[in-house]
Chain A
Amino acid sequence: MSISTGRVSSTARGRAAGDAHARGHRRGEPGRVRRAIRAHWYAWAMVAPVVVVMCALVGWPLARGIFLSLTDATEANIGRTIGVNVIPASYEFVGLENYAGILTSGVFWAKLTWTAVWTVACVALHYGLGLGLAMLLNRRLRFRSVYRVLLILPWAIPAFVAAFIWRYLYNSDYGVFNAMLGAVGLGPVGWLDDPTTARIAVIAVNVWLGVPFMMVALLGGLQGISRELYEAAEVDGAGPGQRFRHITLPGLRAVSSTVILLGTIWTFNMFPVIFLVTGGGPGSETEILVTYAFREAFTGVRNYSGSAAWGLIILGLLVLLALGYRRALRRQGEVW
């Protein structure tokens, strides 16, 4: 329903715009602008503060980041005035050298591969578990609200607190998991000391943190699917699997496409879990692109240009991902 109304209103708007366009052409360019301002001045006035703030908070740092990424600026050669010390800027424009340096380094591709594995694994588990729990909670059962509250709890805990709790659970000598293993007569596991177990460990933490959001979003979606559809399907003799495939999943598509995109972007840039649970270790095996970029930027003499280039490459990857995703959705007939 909502889809069809959207279509109607957009075509209506399109027709109106077309009319304005045609009229504008008749009267010439300046008239059209003046007319638009006269008709919509209040809208511009209302939008102006937001535009100014957005430019200040997003546009300016982004522009400066792009500029810095094309130079060799570091903390040591950027201009600064400290008391009587006036140190002039002495960095130079180096073109795409920073980007070339990053993209040709083995480190970048190794980190990108792990970041991709991490994102896919986390989002798949978030979505799968979230959907499963949402379906459980969507039935009529006793203490439903209690379960809901309990399952949303991880979401209510700040990520850094959760990270520290998990880090303690994983501790190789004094952790809860190893104590449990010891109690059943098994040897301790160095959870965060081995690259493979450390990767599994951080994925587990992030899944624990991310499932509630998926669950709540999908539960909302499930409640929006009309009961009648299920009843009709049942009358027609559709089994539970068929009902899930042909009613639940299509009915959730609008919600799913949004939360999967959001989840992907959040997980791709999930700084606190990696940084606080393993610190990127052992070695730099669990370091994803953002934590690596942070470390490049903030150890020793800060490398502004290099970290700006890292940041823009990450941004570029996410923009590409979002565009590709949108295209795939549009091919499936979503208006998004």
Chain B
Amino acid sequence: MRRAFQAATIVAALALAVSACGGGGGGEAAPAQSAPADPSKITGQITWWDTTRPDSEGPTFQALIKEFQAKYPGIKVNYVNVPFDQAQNQFQTAAQAGTGAPDVIRAEVAWTPQFASLGYLQPLDGTRALDGTESDFLPGPLSSTKYNGKTWAVPQVTDSLALIYNKRLLKEAGHEEPPKTMAELKQVALDVKDKTGVPGLSLNVDSYFLLPFIYGEGGDLLDVRSKKIVIDSPANVKAMATVSDLVTSGAAAKPAITDSYVNAMTAIKEGKTAMIFNGPWALSELYQGAEFKDKDNLGIAPVPAGSVKAGAPTGGHNLAIYAGSKNLDASYEFVRFMTSKEAMAKMSAELGLLPPRASVFEDPAVKANKDVTVFKPIMDTAVPRPWIPEGGQLFQPLLEGYQALVGGKETPEQMVKNVDQRYRGIFKDWS
């Protein structure tokens, strides 16, 4: 009798939470889905592969799991932290073999359509994983969960690139404001170099970090709708010329090609460079640096605009459910809980990660986290990438091109031509 009463209160609480979300997201009614009569009665074990950094981000998610288990006493969640750079391959191996795959995986946005196209994911339309507040989710991250007209995941975190700078160094060079265009970026970087003696900008030679230059000139890699490869365009040549000019003019330090990311991060943390491009995931690491003991010294601004616009790629992570899961009902509930407004608010307030729900930005605890509020306007410049199964294959040719470009081995024209050739090998029937 008592247990039934408890269950009833939990259901009531859940219903309240759901309707609250609905209210925030534009007044959709709580969904009436074909779920078990009482979700809190679901029993079983599920495994979750998390790809966050175990030391700085993991504890918050483990705390959320404790909350989930308190709410669903019958479900036990096995938390497994898989390094981000291995998770995709490991999941593919396990999913294909049919053993060892987790029930729920934190899939990067670009992995989601790939896993879905291979049949590894469970479609979520009409399940309790979606709480019916789709309009609350930001359109960019939400678009990454759709493939072939179905929903395969729920956005958990979103991110984009920003210009991260050392306020002290910019001030010493006579600039109070961060650069707003690529031309200003070059000027500010050169001024920093002249006045302070440290390089103004450190580039991370990685395809993802090349995208702001491409989007800034109005360029792109693919036109998915008309099945066209559009990398070899005048806009992209211009973008590559900008990058190449930053290096040859001395505005950017000669970038390392191996360990590029680590070197750029070390440089800015130690005051050996004034500006880098990076995303919100890097903030907790940046604040450990000597230069940012005083958190106020770290400036965050939208990426500088090219001649067309300011644009940075949409990144982030989704929660997806393995189609071979033995415990789909528990998995649905877990995904629903982890992507709820409350769970996201806790995650964003504690870790400074960007929530993919519009309403969570209004949460007072989240508002108090300055990193989140600073990044909010930057998400407006985020450009969704092509969400296609081959998305993951686009980066290697672009990376090799970027390395050849900054190494002075290829001109901008040659570089886009060569990447174009490689893409034609991947998309054989595209024009």
Contacts and interface: CB of A to CB of B under 8 A. Distances in A.
B254 interface: yes
Given A83-B325, A282-B407, A283-B403, A170 B258 contact: yes
B254 A301 contact: no
Q: Is the interface of A mostly helix, strand, loop or mixed?
A: loop
Interface in B92-141: 92, 95-96, 98, 114, 117-120, 122
Interface in A75-124: 75-76, 78, 80-85, 87
B267 interface: yes
B323 A83 contact: yes
Contacts of B323: 82-85
B148 interface: no
Contacts of A192: 256-258
A298 B258 contact: no
A75 B325 CA distance: 20
Contacts of A283: 400, 403-404, 409
A76 B119 CA distance: 8
Contacts of B6: none
B56 interface: no
B325 A282 contact: no
Interface string A288-312: 0000000100111110000000000
B396 interface: yes
Contacts of A193: 256-258, 407
Given A194-B407, A278-B258, A279-B258, A301 B389 contact: yes
A87 B96 CA distance: 11
B259 interface: yes
Contacts of A279: 258
Nearest to B267: A173
A284 interface: yes
A281 B403 contact: yes
A171 B263 contact: yes
Contacts of B400: 281, 283-284
Interface of B: 89, 92, 95-96, 98, 114, 117-120, 122, 254, 256-259, 263, 266-267, 322-325, 328, 389-393, 396, 400, 403-404, 407, 409
Contacts of A160: none
Given A83-B122, A300-B389, 8 more contacts: A78-B96, A172-B263, A173-B263, A194-B407, A282-B257, A282-B404, A300-B392, A300-B393
Contacts of A82: 95, 98, 119-120, 322-324
A174 interface: yes
A272 interface: no
Contact of A190 (B256, B393, B404): B256
A167 B391 CA distance: 29
20 contacts: A75-B92, A76-B118, A80-B98, A80-B119, A82-B98, A83-B325, A85-B119, A167-B258, A171-B259, A172-B254, A172-B256, A173-B256, A190-B256, A193-B407, A194-B407, A277-B258, A282-B407, A299-B392, A299-B393, A300-B389
A95 to B, nearest CB: 19
A301 B257 contact: no
Interface in A28-53: none
A80 B407 contact: no
Contacts of B259: 167, 171
A190 B98 contact: no
A314 B325 CA distance: 38
B118 A301 contact: yes
Interface string A125-147: 00000000000000000000000
B103 to A, nearest CB: 10
A295 B400 CA distance: 13
B258 A295 contact: no
